[in-house]
Amino acid sequence: MIAAVLAQGVDPDDELAELRELARTALVDPVGEVVQHRPRPQNRTYLGKGKLEQLKHAYKEANAEVLLVDDELDPAQQRTLEDVLQARVVDRTQLILDIFAQHATSAEGKLQVELAQLEYNLPRMRGMWQHLERLGGGVGTRGPGESQLETDRRIARRRITLLRRRLAELRKQRDVRRKARRRAETPTVALAGYTNVGKSTLLNALTGADVSVENRLFETLDPTTRGFDVDGRRYLITDTVGFIRRLPTQLVEGFAATLEETLVADLVLHVVDASVTDERLDEQIAAVNGVLHEIGADDLPVELVLNKADAVDGLRRRRLANRFPDATQVSALTGFQLDELRKRVAARFADRFEAVALFLPYDEGGKLAELYALGAPIEAREDREGGVLVHARLPRRELRRFAPYLVAEARSERASRAQ
């Protein structure tokens, strides 16, 4: 059963649609809903007194097994609801954490989920040992329940410290990989968007990857990076975790690995679902922009991508084109306009590389090694008397370092292209 406190005038069907989808993803079937319209939840009981009685009767009649609440409950609210219903109460944050736990596959993803769960559960541990607390001594003494509670909290804090240390080590490994990409000046693109808008399908379609594309919320938790080529140039694209409204703070902090890939990208492809209503589309865009702002990525260049264009008619596509004239309409499922999207990504980085011809003497073989270390695309190599002629695309910032080895062939080639 679902319970929610909503502001006056808010439509429960629209507002609770996301929670229903979260429940479906967690393999839970809602059997009823109790909604109260008020400015804010009641401090201790979440629902008002009368509505709480209504929930109690409705919960019993529906033979429900768990109560889902469309808010993050504080410990007191959760304990009160559990005492009233004599049943398990799961708030929005805990539901999302459970889904993340189901979908985490990599070692890092599992560590992130465990860290987020421990940080969420730590202030909620008190109610677990009430039956032992009653066995304790008099005023000013500690019963065995309190001692066990302190032990559990100490173990949890120690585990949190260990998890943070392990994740920090993995973060250093990611930094090493990023530095290697930056040395090669390989453009990096991050896919960001509301969950279940087709980001993973788009990654597969652009790069030929085989990332899971099940129709479930938060199907992708771990950052997946793949590459594609346009006119001989390499571009790296990373799929990230999907965003939702009110993404819990524990997840924003715990899933730094995925969100950092957005933060360090050269370009963000903000993927949206073209098949939803205008109101829903605006909500999803606002939710993603809010998370990007929260992680400090809202100043990155963004390219809006309207996915699932195959699911709408021509009139809808024209309306979307009028609303978002700079966006690219694509279909990751059918391949519609994917080549156009690749070209638009390439155009963003057109001035990053310069086509050059270098003659590197044999007695300066270290320079050739430096060139390969940069990861610059080598288009041709020819051994000649006294050295090696290399045609490559060199990062512009490296032109000065290799200036003594530039030969006229590159200049004439650039001139012919300009004509």
Verify that 196 and 337 share a domain, yes or no.
yes
> Are the CB atoms for 37 and 8 separated by under 8 Å?
yes
Least confident of 38-47, 65-74, 75-84, 166-175: 166-175
Give the CATH number, domain containing residue 200.
3.40.50.300
Within this chain, do residues 212 and 321 fall inside the same structural domain, yes or no? yes
Structural domain includes residue 293? yes
The residue among 99, 124, 149 that closes a domain is 99
pLDDT of 309 > 90? The answer is yes
> Does some domain include residue 174?
no
In a domain, 199, yes or no: yes
Are 85 and 119 in the same domain?
no
Say if residue 190 is in the same domain as residue 316: yes
Q: What is the pLDDT of residue 287?
A: 86
Residue 195 maps to a domain: yes
Shared domain for 301 and 193, answered yes or no, is yes
Contact 269, 192 (CB under 8 A): yes
173 lies in a domain? no
Which domain covers residue 198, as residue numbers? 186-348
- Give how far Cα 61 sits from Cα of 15, 27, 64, 88, Å: 24, 22, 8, 16
Whether residues 280 and 364 share a domain: the answer is: no
Q: Are residue 138 and residue 62 in the same domain, yes or no?
A: no
Q: Is the pLDDT of residue 243 over 70?
A: yes
Residue 147's pLDDT band, with cuts at 50, 70 and 90, is: low
For the chain, how many helices (H) and strands (E)? 17, 13
Whether residues 211 and 260 fall in one domain: yes
Q: Concatenated DSSP letters for 319-356? A: HHHHH-TT-EE--TTT-TTHHHHHHHHHHHTTTTEEEE
**How large is the angle between the packed helices 338-348 and 199-207, nearest 10 degrees?**
80
Percentage, residues of the chain above pLDDT 70: 81
Whether the model clears a pTM of 0.85, i.e. scores above it, the answer is no
Which CATH number does the domain housing residue 402 bear?
A: 3.30.70
Q: Using a CB cutoff of 8 Å and minimum separation of 24, what contacts does 118-121 make?
A: 118/156, 118/159, 118/160, 118/163, 119/160, 119/250, 119/253, 119/254, 120/93, 120/94, 120/248, 120/250, 121/156
Residue 355 Cα distances to 17, 243, 384, angstroms? 52, 39, 20
Cα–Cα nearest to 33, from 2, 64, 11: 2
Instruction: Determine, yes or no, domain membership for 177.
Output: no
Residue 325 placed within a domain = yes
Q: What percent of the chain has pLDDT over 90?
A: 30
Please state the domain count of the chain: 4
What average pLDDT does this structure show over 337-351? Answer: 89
Which pLDDT belongs to residue 187? 84
Domain boundary among 286, 314, 348: 348
Tell whether 205 and 342 lie within a shared domain: yes
Amino acid at 210: D
**Strands (E) located in 154-301:** 188-193, 224-230, 233-239, 267-273
Same domain, 190 and 258: yes
Q: Which of 44, 71, 99 is the last residue of a domain?
A: 99
- CATH label of the domain that carries residue 76: 3.40.50.11060
The per-residue pLDDT for range 269-280, each reduced to its tens digit, is: 999 999 999 988
67 and 16 fall within a common domain: yes
- Considering the domain architecture, whether residues 244 and 265 belong to the same structural domain is answered as yes
Beta carbons of 91 and 66 less than 8 angstroms apart:
no
Residue 172 lies in a domain: no
